[in-house]
Amino acid sequence: MRGDDRSPIPGGRGRVAGPVAASLPTLLVLGALATLLAGCPARPEPTAETSPSPAPRLPEPPFLLPLADEPLREPAREGLSIGRHGGELVLPTPSDPKTFNPLLADEQSTTDVLFPLVYTTLVRWDPLSQREEPELATGWESSADGRTWLLTLRRGVRWSDGTPFDADDVVFSLQVLFDPSVPNSLADLFKDSRGHLPEVTKVDAGHVRFTLREPNVLFLAAIGSVYLAPRARLERHYRAGRLHQAYNVLTPPRELVASGPFRIKTFVPGQRLVLERNPYYWKLDPAGQRLPYLDRVLWVMVPDFNAALLRFQRGEIDLYEEVPADQLDLLERQQAAGGYELRDLGPALTANYLSFNWNPGTTADGRPLVDPVRRAWFADPRFRQAVSHGLDREGIVATVLLGRGRPLYCFDSPSNRRWASDCPRFPHDPGRAGQLLDELGLRDTDADGIRDDGRGHPVRFAITTNAENRERVAVATAIKADLLRIGVQVDLRVLPFNGYVTALRETHDWEALLGAWGAAVPPDPVLSKNVFLSSGQLHLWHPGQTQPASDWERRLDELVGQLSSTLELAARQALYRELSEIFASQQAQIFTYNSNQYVAARRGIGNLQPTVFRPHSYWNAHLLYRER
């Protein structure tokens, strides 16, 4: 803490410290009000009735609480400035979190608000350096054979209720995640090729050892996705088989303990989730001040995108991530007047695709999943290449994304710098598309504008997409118009979201489908192995094969196997280059476009360093501060 702002008040109940620091929260509220009051006589004046006890000021009692014995001091680096304490940040979220239990959080509405604000991990994948950094673990070492990992925990860290954090918490959290009766996706990251999980042992309070049967390239990444839970609070619920009811959204906040920079203060369903500073947080800024800077982080439930935009423009929201494409022009135009800025983070990590289905399987009642005539077309790479040549990707970007994106031809977004490589392209070329279709014997024999196979089967298929995603429906509409130009008729099959997901993942009854791959963090190809492996569930065109159906799929399997067991980066990159080349030249999936990622942020938020990785703007929430 700097200068005269530092004046701890004995006795615990802080009153006014420095004049500036003292009045800042009030000023913020007043400032917001002044703008609101300008045109509004009806607006109540809360200041008149504000309760006598002033808003929390700095320095305040939390800072008298003990710091960890071995705090993490953020190294000074470019772009990182020393902030000031106080203030708050308001963010929108479309729906309520479903649980406050970090081990059970499985959807965005939950993970977005909790991670990494309230809970944290042993190691952290840093979006700037793009590698693992120490978090609750200060170090890690693996044995020469890569089968034993020893993690050293940070000493003297406390949960937000003051109880110590130690190896028991780590062992407990992993024990729960590895328990087959607790369905979760994290355990999969730890499984080796035969499905075995590592053995976790507490060496002493400060060390945990993992014993693996095979080396795992992504072991640290897996460790980095486990948000730890407090054993002392959850173990008895777990033993009693009530884990799924423990730490639910109505649990009184004082029972919820945090390891991240903030803890839960209040949750009002459907309205707001208020996070306040975790007084035991164990990080310091480069100047040695306690972190986080912010007093509070407020999540406000705003289910409608339009309402979110309007609230942001009115100054009621500070950070607005994932801005829909149609709002960008408006935001950009008004950023000077609105006191905010729209930051272009570059190509999003999401890769949008059009996929065909040539799964030879049958439905439960014995009908083929895909009409055999059409299946034969879909299975031919020339057909898929022709469709790719038929797509006017530039036109789609200009129309649907209003120019905010670029055509995409490969599996990886250009933002995935470590792994994205150039791949064979099949760009917009209706003439070439026509040639390829002619080669396949698909010509318009009856002069109705639609090609056919000469045996009465018009070249026609349905693109499945989901109704809630307007962008995707618009893309489907554009593709329909594009392919009509090469004599291919497309029907749109717009399903409700549940139906779409069920068709995609469970029933596999679709002909063509629009979807997107989001990037895992870290964006390593092995984390996408379920797409590449012929036995994978996400091998969309024919998932769960017992034997690879084709040579190129067999080669993909081999490459994934080598990628998983090779440790050296350059070698892995070479392997992956071959993989993505096969993937693209086969047009296993036809990639379509890649939109730009934007974050809109109010001016005056210090240390904001948004990246394309989720969460984009508040991954370093402990360092964010409100400038004067």
Partner 1 sequence: MSPSVSGGRSPAAARAPAAGGGPPRRLVWQRLRRDRGALCGGTVLVVLLLVALGAEFIAPYRQDTQRRDLAFHPPMLRQLGFAEGAVLPRLAVAGVQVVDPQRKQYAAGPERWPIRLFVRGEPYRLWGLLPCERHLFGVDPGGVLFVLGSDQFGRDLLSRLLHATRVSLGVALLAVFLSLALGLLLGGLAGYAGGWLDFLLMRGTELVLALPGLYLLLALRDSFGRELSPWALLGVLALVLALVEWAPHARVIRGLVLALRDREHVRAARVQGFGPASLLVRQILPGTSSYVIPNLSLSLPAFVLNEAALSFLGLGVQEPQASWGLLLRDAQSVRFLVDFPWLLAPGGFLFLAVAACNLLGEGLRDALDLQGVRG
Partner 2 sequence: MNARGLILRRVLGLLPLLLAVSFLSFWLLSRAGGDAFSRLLADPQISQEQVAGLRALYGLDDPLPTRYLRWLSRLLQGDLGLSLRYQLPVSQLIRERTGNTLLLTGTSLVLIWVLGVGLGVLAALRPRGLLDRLLGLLAYLGLSTPPVLLALLLLLFAASTGLFPVGGLHDQLGWDGWGPGARLRDLVWHLVLPVAVLVLTGVGGLLRQVRGLMIEALGLPHVRNARLLGLPEGLVLRHAGRQLRNPLLTQLGGSLGGLLGGSFLVEIVFAWPGLASLTYEAVLQRDAPLLLASLLAAAVLLVLGNLLADLALLGLDPRTRHAG
Interface map 70-89 toward partner 2 (x if CB under 8 A): ------------------x-
- What is the distance between the alpha carbons of residues 585 and 571, in angstroms, rounded to a whole number? 22
Q: Is 171 in the site for partner 2 (CB under 8 A)?
A: no
Footprint of partner 1 on this chain (CB under 8 A)?
Answer: 305-306, 309-310, 326-327, 329-330, 395, 398-400, 402-403, 467-468, 470, 473-474, 476-478, 480-481, 491-496, 498-499
Q: Which of 36, 336, 373, 481 is close enough to bind partner 2 by CB under 8 A?
A: 36
Q: Is 517 in the site for partner 2 (CB under 8 A)?
A: yes
Q: What's the Cα-to-Cα distance from 67 to each of 71, 117, 158, 290, 598, rounded to whole Å?
A: 7, 18, 8, 8, 37
Residues 314-333 that bind partner 2 (CB under 8 A): 314, 316
Q: Per-residue DSSP letters for 151-181?
A: EEEPTT-B-TTSPBP-HHHHHHHHHHHH-TT
- Region near partner 2 per CB under 8 A, out of 113-121, 147-155, 211-219, 526-534: 526-534
Shortest distance (Å) from residue 42 CB to partner 2: 6
* Alpha carbons within 13 A on the beta-carbon side of 570: 0
Residues 104-133 that bind partner 2 (CB under 8 A): 106-107
According to DSSP, the residues that pair with 355 across neighbouring strands are 513, 589
Q: Which of 22, 122, 153, 298 is close enough to bind partner 2 by CB under 8 A?
A: 298
Shortest distance (Å) from residue 320 CB to partner 2: 13
Closer to partner 1 by CB, 37 or 501: give it: 501
Closer to partner 1 by CB, 143 or 362: give it: 362
Residues 251-280 that bind partner 2 (CB under 8 A): 266, 268-272, 274
Q: Which does 106 bind (CB under 5 to 8 A by kind): partner 1, partner 2, none?
A: partner 2
Residue 31, classed as helix, strand or coil, is helix
Shortest distance (Å) from residue 334 CB to partner 2: 11
Closer to partner 1 by CB, 400 or 459: give it: 400
Q: Which does 399 bind (CB under 5 to 8 A by kind): partner 2, partner 1, none?
A: partner 1
Q: How many residues bind partner 2 (CB under 8 A)?
A: 73
- What is the distance between the alpha carbons of residues 402 and 323, in angstroms, rounded to a whole number? 13
Neighbours of 340 (CB within 10 A): 23
Q: Which does 474 bind (CB under 5 to 8 A by kind): partner 2, partner 1, none?
A: partner 1
Phi/psi-derived region of residue 544, left when phi > 0, alpha when psi is between -120 and 50, beta in every other case? left
Closer to partner 1 by CB, 326 or 444: give it: 326
Shortest distance (Å) from residue 298 CB to partner 2: 6
- What is the distance between the alpha carbons of residues 153 and 167, in angstroms, rounded to a whole number? 7
Q: Which does 143 bind (CB under 5 to 8 A by kind): partner 2, partner 1, none?
A: none
Shortest distance (Å) from residue 518 CB to partner 1: 21
Q: Which of 35, 201, 363, 445 is close enough to bind partner 2 by CB under 8 A?
A: 35
Closer to partner 1 by CB, 50 or 334: give it: 334
Shortest distance (Å) from residue 352 CB to partner 2: 14
- What is the distance between the alpha carbons of residues 141 and 152, in angstroms, rounded to a whole number? 9
Residues 474-513 that bind partner 2 (CB under 8 A): 496-499, 501-502, 504-506
Q: Which of 162, 303, 441, 449 is close enough to bind partner 2 by CB under 8 A?
A: 303
Q: Tell me the two tokens of residue 380.
A: 């031919």
Closer to partner 1 by CB, 477 or 609: give it: 477
Q: Which does 162 bind (CB under 5 to 8 A by kind): partner 1, partner 2, none?
A: none
Shortest distance (Å) from residue 381 CB to partner 2: 24
Q: Per-residue DSSP letters for 316-340?
A: S-SEEES--GGGHHHHHHTHHHHTE
Q: Is 376 in the site for partner 2 (CB under 8 A)?
A: no
What is the torsion angle, in degrees rounded to the nearest 10, for the CA atoms of residue 421, residue 424, residue 430 and residue 435? Answer: -170
Closer to partner 1 by CB, 152 or 477: give it: 477
> 72 Cβ partners below 8 Å, 6+ apart?
134, 135, 154, 282, 283, 284
| Residue 565 and residue 408 in contact, taking contact as beta carbons nearer than 8 Å | no
What's the DSSP call for residue 371?
Answer: -
- What is the distance between the alpha carbons of residues 628 and 319, in angstroms, rounded to a whole number? 17
Shortest distance (Å) from residue 311 CB to partner 1: 11
- What is the distance between the alpha carbons of residues 379 and 515, in angstroms, rounded to a whole number? 19
Q: Which does 107 bind (CB under 5 to 8 A by kind): partner 2, partner 1, none?
A: partner 2
In angstroms and rounded to an integer, the radius of gyration of the C-alpha atoms of the chain is: 27
Closer to partner 2 by CB, 108 or 586: give it: 108
Residues 187-246 that bind partner 2 (CB under 8 A): 188, 244-245
Closer to partner 1 by CB, 102 or 515: give it: 515
- What is the distance between the alpha carbons of residues 391 and 488, in angstroms, rounded to a whole number? 11
Shortest distance (Å) from residue 90 CB to partner 2: 7
Shortest distance (Å) from residue 495 CB to partner 2: 8
Residue 513, classed as helix, strand or coil, is strand
Q: What's the Cα-to-Cα distance from 622 to each of 86, 297, 604, rounded to whole Å?
A: 12, 10, 16
Q: What's the Cα-to-Cα distance from 401 to each of 404, 512, 597, 615, rounded to whole Å?
A: 5, 22, 11, 22
* Closest by CA position to 497, among listed 478, 462, 531, 473: 473
Q: Per-residue DSSP letters for 32-66?
A: HHHHHHTT-SSS--HHHH--SSPPP-SS-GGGGSP
Closer to partner 2 by CB, 183 or 456: give it: 183
Q: Which of 7, 20, 31, 46 is close enough to bind partner 2 by CB under 8 A?
A: 46
Closer to partner 2 by CB, 38 or 144: give it: 38
- What is the distance between the alpha carbons of residues 339 and 32, in angstroms, rounded to a whole number? 12
Q: Which does 398 bind (CB under 5 to 8 A by kind): partner 2, partner 1, none?
A: partner 1
> 425 Cβ partners below 8 Å, 6+ apart?
409, 584
Closer to partner 2 by CB, 7 or 245: give it: 245
Q: Which does 476 bind (CB under 5 to 8 A by kind): partner 2, partner 1, none?
A: partner 1
